[in-house]
Structure 1
Amino acid sequence: MSRSVAPSFRSLYDNEVHFIHRNLRRLGVREEDVEDRAQEVFVVAHRRFAEFVDHGYGARSWLFQIALRVAADARRHRRRHPEDADGGEAMALLTVSAEQTGAVTRRERLARLDVALSTIPLERRAVLVLYEIEEQPVSEIARTFEISESLVYNRLRTARGELERALKRSEPPRG
């Protein structure tokens, strides 16, 4: 690796590692696997870094595309090799103290959101995450996926409806 590449890649890593962590989680990677999968994203990026050419989309879009593939591989692996049915959540909830009730409530809501997001097909979920959570403009999302802006809007509209329906289905019963 040349000296000129290392500082640039290090800068890319430092600037985008939190972006990759957030989005791997939103793309269905379990919390306990996010660190390993983020490392995988950056290993692929490092291997291909010399070939990277910014065509106006930015490195973030390039990394997001790598993260999409890594997240899909992680979900596929989890389906083939299931572990705890609840991912260990039940045991974690048993050890929570009374002061942590707010944190548990937030965690439960985030878990509901993760489950709801997981019901949306990846091509629509990715658009929804980039637009609503990462606040990327439609034009940038269109360039990232090499699709038209009207298709981005269509996927966004459909994904919003799917998310809303999934969240309604997962609402806890009111007592």
Structure 2
Amino acid sequence: MEKLQEYVKKVNFRSNSDKEMVFKYNEKDSELTNAKKAEKVNLSYSAEYKSYYEYDADKKLYFRFRNGKPHIERQTEEQLTTKNIIIQKVKNYDIKGDQYGRQEVNTVGSGEGYYITNGKCIEITWSKSSRTERTKYLDSEGKEIVLNPGQTWIQIFPVSGKIEIE
């Protein structure tokens, strides 16, 4: 990090931004109010691709699985975990003529989703006014969600997919 900071000074890169921080975080771990249980989160993108998270109450983390197996990080060879999960339901389309099956994913606009942490979840809405603006995630009262300290996974998820939260 020191070398990176030295280089930023050397080439006179800007070290501040006029953009808002993407998320707000609680000072310490906080429980969601008016939340439903979320100890297992199943995400079926299609018949061929599924992932899920299982909550470990002792560690207060979600462990990620992909197609029925632990999702392993290549360098550390440890299973991926996260503290917070945001599921953002979006419209998606196959790109016409694309030979690799890539998709166009609509992340500009608005939609529904979930915020999941500490074995609980709440329904949220999301909105993004343009490609260069940040996505805002709001609770049922219209307040911006505040995340617990720790890693956050944002699952961009097709509206046609199937979500089960247990």
TM-score interval (norm. to shorter): under 0.3
TM-score of the superposed pair, with normalisation by structure 2:
0.23
Instruction: Give the number of the structure whose residues are more often strand, by fraction.
Output: 2
TM-score of the superposed pair, with normalisation by structure 1:
0.22
